Structure 1
């Protein structure tokens, strides 16, 4: 990176820190081609290692110690991406070195790091470090684990300050444990913004889990080699030089040496052990590796603790789901069932309130725990349900005020966290979990948005002050944890399954009941009808008995038709079909018979008939008569009084086309879309057809389909027209 380049957070994020082209001066570096030929070296290698480096020289001819040659030889032939280091201790002249070699990105890298501590002292430190591992494994909580870890790392490394960072989902980090020299300012509890660790630095923290800077005032040593060669990728190097921005950042904290150890869980940077020293400090490689092993043990232990907590939560949620599903299968009202299990659901999800809603009915259940209000403001529950999308089949998640629709934001108040489960989209059925805002006083490690001028120019500089800067954060609930979301999806699936099962069972029972009622009512209705006929024929001295008989017959005939429609619908719903018996039927004769019956029943009714063409189809004459009778009845009920009903029969393209029409306004588009649905709202309680149930056109369509035909509606020349097309025999 060029000294003096204008650097802001954007360009800092683009800085190629993995190819700095230089090393820290407390060691020397050589790098080779995959077959062991020298490709480059640090400028201090000749003096520090006592060699005369030349491009293309075989590693075995450089005069390196035997152990160094052995670990370089171990790297020859390794596959691309192999980074496992080989280590040995060597003495060159009067200096002791830790020699580390690894292969990566098509190069073999050999580093010679000065060791300033005698080998026996290093061994004692390493033994103490490994003893710390057993103590960490016994920790039962993450908080206890991190507190013990910073204390142990400080004891066997000797740093002035050791902190444990834990990263949040937004990549900001909190200092959650600290062990420090008593005269240093405490950073425990402070939060650091995500921008303090740019993306490329976060990548290196994951690839190379241990990083050491010996002296912030070092003078970088450049790498030498073939001028046109690709720069050396030092992602896994120990001696890699450091970004000037990072150096400035640490100097602003008063730090002169540092070490960081990454805590990586499932490929994600979960946290860091950050070590600071106020003067120069070189920690021997073996002790650093012990700290790295300790961090791996921490990662494994943290993963186990989190997995256990998730398992406990999953078990608790499973118990709630099981009990709730059992209740749903027995109870007809899901809202009541959710209310019975509301407290258990809130406990399993960390929510303070639950809303249950279906068919416009909404119930509210509040836990009133943790300082949360004991009830929602009036009208808020209904407004929340109304804000949820229609036909939603997945969870709806909101975690802050800004996630809510703008008109609803002032009304939400403290209830800013929402997790909504659409258990029945057809009836707008929702189970909604709510969390209140978590008012948080954040102690930032310095004001995160402070702009200042630094040694590298005017820019957003690493902070010059790390005194705590406090900010009160409002309008945010505690984020819904991944485990809670996963359990919510399982709960949603069980709710949907239970609702669907209950609905299917109800529909089957309803269809069976309708069939039974239709069958059992027909006989007594037939008897009543016969009694009405007898009463009409026998007559008596009073003049109202014939009229009474006709009313009885008319009423029983209507009931018979309704029962017949119910039975037909029951058969259709159960997939049984209507059982048509096909035979040749002359449609013109069938229509003439139906028109004769209509004229006798309604003498004042006028018809315009065009049935000049003969048309024979394979059909069930009784069922077709049912279709045309329904169309004629609809035309009579809905047509303009005094205007004729049109009936037309034509042959067209191998089909018989029958049209029944009446003068009238076009049917509205929303109504036309549901014309052939059962139990239409427009048919129920219609003043022109009070006995209609909305089943006639539905059954007519099924009959026509069983005859391999089609039925359609259109409006043309101020007439409402229903057209039936049947294939000719």
Structure 2
């Protein structure tokens, strides 16, 4: 039969450790076909069991103790191909054995493991182990549970050191609890790299939760059988031999014997109880099984504690989410709402700062500079509809990494992509001093087969400072955030639909119910102006109604734009320079105290709707007059740049704030609605002007140059 192969660290990840072809020498092994014919045995079986095995003989013909034969009866014959182990104590030639039988892959395996203590002593130790179960179940914290567990297991097994490992998401493990002999070096607090447990070993830890190595200096005993027989799968065998790489690893630690008990939760290797002895040690099977039962109780208790903590976190997050959604439905400003719930959101997500962005405006909650918050929002992807998660510096765009400082963890929710609406949660960098269990590197040595890689030789603590990493976002928090995001998107969609419906009703009212009365009032004003003794009263009525008609026209234009109808421009050749000159003349007549200066007038012909283009330029002249410094001129320039005609309208004034620039061409801007220089403005002029220019295949833009605010319109030349 196959007896394994030479391995080192280059191929240990591929080593078939479940079919080693040999066993540890403190016991012996027989294996049978499913119908009970002897198929093979370990080389020490004749001497240890006092039998003469022959291939193909039935199990009942072997001179085995009655209890062992009766146990085999339960596994031989038709039935499940995989059956978990059972044990009976037997005595052979004056030596005590634990006979352990299990079935796997159509074979029945019987192992006879030496027991070096009496059955009474085993019973006492087992009772002591079971007495620990209730104490473990009463623990309220994982830390307290593991601390008590290592003390209890060391007490009833007698190992020199018992450690509790807890595995991280990257499969590295921390020693989080330890009970040890006082004269040996402590390993508490050290971390061991994921490479210490190859993938196939991790699989076996989940499949067979208890593993015992009696003596690292033992010589393994080969299995015998037909040369063409399949290797024996020993995944569940208690005597399975040990990988030479693992033996070398234990020797480098100064360990003579070991036992490991897996803590498996929902099919995942959550942690490990690792027991070390500095010399040979054989713990009886029953006591090992008691430790395995303890590990199962620990897994159940840990699962309960984690589930309780997760439930509390979910309930807290759900409560915050419900209240946030309710307030967003009834309040006008999402930034204000998110700001009021910031503390609750940070507590539920264990984040340290919140940044909310909506229509270009950024609100910060936490110790975070405003300019950095804006840069973080700018680094987020456009038109994103799912969570954006970053946990370390390398996850960020390279252009922003130097500015981040301690803020390296990000969880961003795009609650309103159309409005660039983001709620961003940030975590700070965890500067961690990691105490590795020895420098985690390979060592090259020369052996009988030449140069090869071996496990590290020193397990003295080796310290490494890890930077640029935040605490990873927990799966529960990510799941809750996705639920929150779905609710926020639903709310913002509902808000948008409600706003659109209300605005449509308003527009309909303005367009149909007010235009006719305003026309009648305007006509009455004209009659008053011509026939009244107080002509100024008529002029005032006409001025007011004209202003109201202009506002209604703007609102109706906006309705057409939002409805996707466009403004219906009719393009034809237009002398842009002449159009500008006419508009300036009209402005001078209407506002004789304001100096309008045409500073350049290059001839330019464009394809345009003269009425709509005049509406754009009149709006820019009106804005310059309203917002410019009193007494300073409004400058107009018509020039040609390449294949474009450019009209610049400028006025003396300070630079427009950045947060206002971001919404300059949006409708119903607060800056316009609350402007004392233009009390009747609704913030629609630039919004409509931009649409008109776009329908002319042009561009409109703002800039500040020197002490002047400049708006430029660019149109293609004919």
Both proteins in one fold, TM over 0.5: yes
* 1:170 partner SS: coil
Equivalent position of 1:225 in the other structure? 225
Equivalent position of 1:502 in the other structure? 495
Q: Count residues with an aligned counterpart.
A: 603
- Structure 1 position 475 matched with structure 2 position 476: no
Equivalent residue for 1:392, pick from 378, 384, 390: 384
Instruction: Kindly state the Cα deviation for residue 567 of structure 1 after the two structures are TM-superposed.
Output: 7.4
Kept after mapping to 2: 8 A contact 1:518/1:567: no
Instruction: Kindly state the Cα deviation for residue 561 of structure 1 after the two structures are TM-superposed.
Output: 6.5
- Structure 1 position 382 matched with structure 2 position 383: no
* 2:335 partner SS: helix
Distance 1:558 1:463, change over 3 A: closer
Kept after mapping to 1: 8 A contact 2:325/2:491: yes
Q: Distance in 2 between matches of 1:556 and 1:132?
A: 86
- Structure 1 position 418 matched with structure 2 position 419: no
Kept after mapping to 1: 8 A contact 2:31/2:41: yes
Instruction: Kindly state the Cα deviation for residue 415 of structure 1 after the two structures are TM-superposed.
Output: 1.0
Q: Distance in 2 between matches of 1:541 and 1:432?
A: 66
* 1:47 partner SS: helix
Q: Deviations over 1:245-294 (max 9, x none)?
A: 00000011111111000000111101000011111111111100000000
Instruction: Kindly state the Cα deviation for residue 135 of structure 1 after the two structures are TM-superposed.
Output: 0.8
Kept after mapping to 2: 8 A contact 1:129/1:153: yes
Kept after mapping to 2: 8 A contact 1:51/1:62: yes
Q: Distance in 2 between matches of 1:459 and 1:382?
A: 54
Superposition pairs for residues 528-677 of structure 1, below 5 Å? Answer: 528=521, 530-531=523-524, 635=609, 637=611
Q: Deviations over 1:215-260 (max 9, x none)?
A: 1111111101110111011111111010000000001111111100
Instruction: Kindly state the Cα deviation for residue 73 of structure 1 after the two structures are TM-superposed.
Output: 2.0
Q: Deviations over 1:132-167 (max 9, x none)?
A: 111100111000000000000011111111010111
Equivalent residue for 1:441, pick from 428, 433, 438: 433
Q: Distance in 1 between matches of 2:136 and 2:532?
A: 107
Equivalent position of 1:126 in the other structure? 126
How well do the aligned residues superpose, as a CA RMSD in angstroms? 4.0
Q: Distance in 2 between matches of 1:324 and 1:542?
A: 59
Q: Deviations over 1:44-97 (max 9, x none)?
A: 111111222111111111122222122222123465652311221111121111
Farther off after superposition, 18-27 or 399-408: 399-408
Distance 1:14 1:80, change over 3 A: farther
Equivalent position of 2:504 in the other structure? 511
Instruction: Kindly state the Cα deviation for residue 424 of structure 1 after the two structures are TM-superposed.
Output: 1.1
Superposition pairs for residues 18-37 of structure 1, below 5 Å? Answer: 18-37=18-37
Structure 2, unpaired ranges of 5+: 573-606, 615-642, 646-665, 670-682, 697-716
Kept after mapping to 2: 8 A contact 1:528/1:552: no
Distance 1:666 1:452, change over 3 A: same
Q: Distance in 2 between matches of 1:76 and 1:401?
A: 59
Q: Distance in 1 between matches of 2:497 and 2:382?
A: 22
Q: Deviations over 1:676-701 (max 9, x none)?
A: xx9899x97589x969879999xxxx
Equivalent residue for 1:492, pick from 482, 485, 492: 485
Distance 1:391 1:138, change over 3 A: same
Equivalent position of 1:402 in the other structure? 394
Instruction: Kindly state the Cα deviation for residue 557 of structure 1 after the two structures are TM-superposed.
Output: 8.4
Instruction: Kindly state the Cα deviation for residue 36 of structure 1 after the two structures are TM-superposed.
Output: 1.3
Q: Distance in 1 between matches of 2:466 and 2:78?
A: 52
Kept after mapping to 1: 8 A contact 2:435/2:463: yes
Superposition pairs for residues 35-50 of structure 1, below 5 Å? Answer: 35-50=35-50
Equivalent position of 1:142 in the other structure? 142
Instruction: Kindly state the Cα deviation for residue 377 of structure 1 after the two structures are TM-superposed.
Output: 4.0
Q: Distance in 2 between matches of 1:548 and 1:634?
A: 34
Equivalent position of 1:244 in the other structure? 244
Q: Give the TM-score normalised by the residue count of structure 2.
A: 0.76
Q: Distance in 2 between matches of 1:177 and 1:525?
A: 84
Distance 1:278 1:129, change over 3 A: same
Equivalent residue for 1:430, pick from 397, 422, 427: 422
Q: Distance in 2 between matches of 1:384 and 1:47?
A: 74
Distance 1:422 1:44, change over 3 A: same
Q: Give the TM-score normalised by the residue count of structure 1.
A: 0.75
* 1:416 partner SS: strand
Q: Distance in 2 between matches of 1:312 and 1:358?
A: 31
Q: Deviations over 1:435-467 (max 9, x none)?
A: 111111111111002534275754442121111
Kept after mapping to 2: 8 A contact 1:565/1:696: no
Q: Distance in 1 between matches of 2:234 and 2:184?
A: 34
Kept after mapping to 2: 8 A contact 1:22/1:241: yes
* 1:444 partner SS: strand
Equivalent position of 2:8 in the other structure? 7
Q: Distance in 1 between matches of 2:447 and 2:187?
A: 25
Instruction: Kindly state the Cα deviation for residue 376 of structure 1 after the two structures are TM-superposed.
Output: 2.3
Superposition pairs for residues 674-693 of structure 1, below 5 Å? Answer: none
Distance 1:460 1:89, change over 3 A: same
